[in-house]
């Protein structure tokens, strides 16, 4: 996938600071940033899945109880 992005002044400054500190090109910095952001979202995703399963189980047991 090819993206063309326009950064504001602060994002540009931050990208340049990261590049100066790591000696990485902008493509690698952005790819790693996306990867880190994705990793941060995973615990939240799993929490959502677990919570949904709990509510489904509660709803199932309530339906079984009310039918008896």
Closest residue by Cα to residue 15 from 32, 1, 38, 35: 32
This prediction has a pTM of: 0.59
Would the CA dihedral through 22, 28, 30, 31 be positive or negative?
Answer: negative
Tokens representing residue 7 in the block: 């950064």
In the DSSP assignment, the letter for residue 8 is: -
**Tens digits of residue pLDDT in 20-31:** 999 999 999 999
**Tens digits of residue pLDDT in 10-64:** 999 999 999 999 999 999 999 999 999 988 877 766 777 777 777 776 665 555 5
User: Which residue intervals of 1-68 are DSSP H helices?
Assistant: 9-22, 26-67
Distances (CA, A) of 25 to 9, 34, 41: 18, 15, 25
């Amino acid at each position: 996938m090819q993206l063309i992005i326009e950064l504001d002044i602060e994002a540009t400054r931050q990208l340049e600071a990261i590049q100066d500190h790591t000696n990485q090109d902008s493509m690698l910095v952005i790819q790693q940033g996306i990867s880190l952001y994705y990793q941060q979202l995973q615990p939240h995703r799993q929490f959502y899945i677990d919570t949904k399963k709990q509510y489904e189980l509660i709803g199932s047991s309530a339906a079984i109880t009310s039918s008896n």
